[in-house]
Chain A
Amino acid sequence: MTRRQLTGWGRTMASYAEVLSPNSEEAIARALEAGPAIARGLGRSYGDPAQLSGGVVLTNRDLGGIGPIASDGSVTVGAGVSIDELLTLAIPQGWFVPVTPGTRQVTFGGAIAADVHGKNHHRDGSIGDHVTSMRIVTPIGAFDTSPSEHAELFWATIGGMGLTGVITSLTLRLIKIETDRVLVDTTRFANLDGVMAAMVEGDDRYRYSVAWVDCMTKGASMGRGILTRGDHARASDVSDAALVAPKGARLTIPVDAPSGLLNPLSIRLFNEAWFRYAPRSRQGEEQSIGSFFHPLDGVNDWNRLYGRRGFVQYQFAVADAYGDVVVRAIERLSSSGVPSFLAVLKRFGPANHGPLSFPMAGWTLALDLPVGPATLPTVLDDLDEMVLAAQGRVYLAKDARLRPDVLRSMYPRLGDFLAVKQQYDPHHRLTSDLARRLNLGGN
């Protein structure tokens, strides 16, 4: 057991905890008995869900092991296995994960706790929709769970931010791929309306779709963007079909950048270059899995570019009927002068049964915002109000500043979640800095 300083990927809210790496259910059970404790994967959630000041943090990296891949794509993995580690093994055999977030450097335990989504949510849902069973150690014992067995625990754990138990292993179903290439269509749009109209009209034709939106431009070109959509290439689509797993990062950010490096001017210049660099329109471009799904994995520790103060990510979802909230949110940001890197806009398919799962049918917008501008806390509080008025919600895996009462209104099924948590964790052994901040049980 070692005492360590922990933060999320945004590098805000540092706190200290005893860190343990249990490798058995017994070791986890013992830690939960002593409590308070929370599980942690690779620390890629942005805020404070995988840290617990003054408590015990259980890293899941010693819960490893990748089973054989069955003919239907089913594979059982330890909760501490990362998507990267599974892909290294699976891609050469012609399999791919059913859902991947923007980084491969997340563990499956963490991915399920956040119920991560990828560019295919509008078609395939989130990671929880592809998990067929999970082994979960709770403070009252270990359970085999699935959509039909201890289903309430299963679903509460999907998107449950680790607060229902420690996932030790899980089975999910992979999808078949013929090559390691993705065929990508790229279109550039001069403003936000164009991007959104194209997504509504055409996303159904693509498995993967995401738009990068510029939040720093005002007026007629407000929210100009680049829409990229595609699907895995079939062997017949490419001349040199191969199945090679993506390589590791080539670059590393060795030290913290000065806090002011990412300022309105530098971000505006970056966005300009990014926009100009994209083709007006290009069809069927071959891209590697790494560059299409995980562009930021090319640079290790890129979060250090935000300097010592770190950054927050703000991601919300609203129903289709409230698409105007996306427009107004970007307007609010671009008019307040709060700098934001390219924002990510995407369409979501239907929600799943997880009471704390984030995705809901409609739109989602994610924004990276450096901490520093004095107006930023208020601007984000205003965005909360807009999202709440539209019956939308913000993503807990990104959150670092929500109000507890606002969270309650955004997640109407929070009561169901807390009831399950109470049943499996009656003495509040599982908690985190996030849970304390948002009153999700524990103290």
Chain B
Amino acid sequence: MDNAFGQPQRVIVLGGTSDIARAITKKLVDARAHTVILAGRDVARLDQAAAEAREFGATTVATTALDAEDPASATATVARAFEAAGGSVDLVIIAVGLLGDQTADEVSPEATLRMMSVNFTWPVVALTEIRNRLLAQGSGRILVISSVGAIRVRRTAYLYGGAKAGLDRLCDGLADSLEGSGVSLQILRPGAVRTRMTEGLPEVPFTTGPNEVAEYVMTGLGGQQRVIWSPPLLKYVYFILRHLPKALWRKIMER
């Protein structure tokens, strides 16, 4: 069960090998999580993340394979994770994502399909199964990792940003549909984060480390606001950026 500070005990992390997911998992285990189910693609990294969770004090840790390029497999993956949890699940995190290589991807229909599958279709199919299972349980929370890039899609990452935009808006509606059900959904919108995904890219303003993101997540889970911004100031920055004239927006973003 969750406690008064929104600290869950049984957690499923889909995309549990990402740096942000691992930082969040560590903090959750450090607080109250005793059961952690991690799903991911890279077996070696999955084992590392599992060992980390045990090291931080989780007593039940299990891993399961996840292939986000195959949205049809999402239902079975979610089902396996719920079974492994062995009881009512308090929090499901969707941290599946692929930044891709915009320049190469935008000319390739195959790469475009992959970007949409991983960043949008797989998460949405998974969300449907998660929603059904949590509603049957009568309680539980979902945290979906979106991106500030979803707020206004940049030319330099429009496949990633566009897919996240779809996911972000869809989750807003899904969260509304869950009002009063005992199940709730929060959207995390991090700015740039220093991770494997962004390694080698030039650092932009408001870049944080994964641990800072995890801190904001812990605070956000303790409250009821729909969107968790990381860092929180980006809420206001993006309010302005969103309303900039197109020419100015391009100028700022296409550096």
Main secondary structure of the interface of B (DSSP, over half): loop
User: CA–CA, A207 to B149, complex, Å?
Assistant: 66
A437 B3 Cβ-Cβ under 8 A: yes
| A interface size (C-beta, 8 A) | 29
Within 8 A of A (CB), among B130-152: 136-139
- Whether, in the assembled complex, B238 has its beta carbon less than 8 Å from a beta carbon of chain A, the answer is no
B139 A54 Cβ-Cβ under 8 A: yes
Q: A377-B31, A436-B88 are in contact. Are A310 and B4 (CB under 8 A)?
A: yes
- Whether, in the assembled complex, B219 has its beta carbon less than 8 Å from a beta carbon of chain A, the answer is yes
Chain B residues with CB under 8 Å of A309's CB are 222-224
Main secondary structure of the interface of A (DSSP, over half): loop
A400 B88 Cβ-Cβ under 8 A: no
Q: A374-B219, A401-B7, A443-B87 are in contact. Are A48 and B139 (CB under 8 A)?
A: no
Chain B residues with CB under 8 Å of A437's CB are 1-3, 9
B138 A48 Cβ-Cβ under 8 A: no
A436 B1 Cβ-Cβ under 8 A: yes
CB-based nearest A residue for B134: A54
Chain B residues with CB under 8 Å of A158's CB are none
B4 A12 Cβ-Cβ under 8 A: yes
- Whether, in the assembled complex, A230 has its beta carbon less than 8 Å from a beta carbon of chain B, the answer is no
- Whether, in the assembled complex, B32 has its beta carbon less than 8 Å from a beta carbon of chain A, the answer is yes
Q: How far is the CB of B148 from chain A (nearest CB, A)?
A: 22
Chain A residues with CB under 8 Å of B139's CB are 15-16, 53-54
| B interface size (C-beta, 8 A) | 25
CB-based nearest A residue for B32: A403
A308 B224 Cβ-Cβ under 8 A: yes
B181 A401 Cβ-Cβ under 8 A: no
A54 B182 Cβ-Cβ under 8 A: yes
- Whether, in the assembled complex, A371 has its beta carbon less than 8 Å from a beta carbon of chain B, the answer is yes
Q: Which B residues are closer than 8 A to A by beta carbons?
A: 1-5, 7, 9, 31-32, 34, 87-88, 136-139, 180-182, 215, 218-219, 222-224
B182 A53 Cβ-Cβ under 8 A: yes
**Chain B CB within 10 Å — which of A16, A47, A377 has the most?**
A377
User: B3, B138, B180, B219: which contacts A54 (Cβ < 8 A)?
Assistant: B138
Please give 4 more A-B residue pairs, beta carbons under 8 A apart, in addition to A16-B139, A308-B224.
A16-B138, A371-B222, A437-B3, A443-B87
User: A16, A401, A403: which contacts B4 (Cβ < 8 A)?
Assistant: A401
Contact pattern, A 412-443, Cβ under 8 Å of B = 1, otherwise 0? 00000000000000000000011011000001
Q: How far is the CB of A34 from chain B (nearest CB, A)?
A: 14
**Chain B CB within 10 Å — which of A5, A434, A436 has the most?**
A436
Chain A residues with CB under 8 Å of B180's CB are 5, 16
A53 B7 Cβ-Cβ under 8 A: no
Chain B residues with CB under 8 Å of A308's CB are 224
